[in-house]
Amino acid sequence: MTLKEKMFEYYRENPKAGYKEIEENTGIPYGVAKTYKCRALQKGELKELEDGSIEVVKAPPVEKSSYKKEVITEMVDIYMEDFRSASPTERVDIGKRITMLLEKL
């Protein structure tokens, strides 16, 4: 979970939370929380209500990079299984594919 997702989750449960409270309970630094909140308000992801509480309008997008890493790691594991049982000539091709995937991490 990213810091931004963590902050949004905290706001869902504690809509009147201040930056200091967020920092103490989530570990998100005060300045980072302030920046995330400001940007999220500008983007319409958060909405400040009349009573000062914060409403999460829409959740931040899922971090594609972490999902991508999981997929690539799984692909490397599969190729490694093939590599172990392959002939020497096949190992060269599989090794190139593994190297290509590792460069994307």
Q: Tens digits of per-residue pLDDT, 4-49?
A: 889 999 999 999 999 999 999 999 999 999 999 999 999 999 999 9
Per-position DSSP letters for 52-78, written without gaps between them? S-EEE-SPPPP-HHHHHHHHHHHHHHH
Residue type, 16: K
Look at the domain 3-56 and name its fold. Answer: Arc Repressor Mutant, subunit A (1.10.10)
| Span 73-104, pLDDT tens digits | 888 888 888 888 899 989 999 989 888 888 87
Assessment of whether the complete model's pTM goes beyond 0.75: no
So where are the chain's domains? 3-56, 64-103
**DSSP state letter for 7:** H
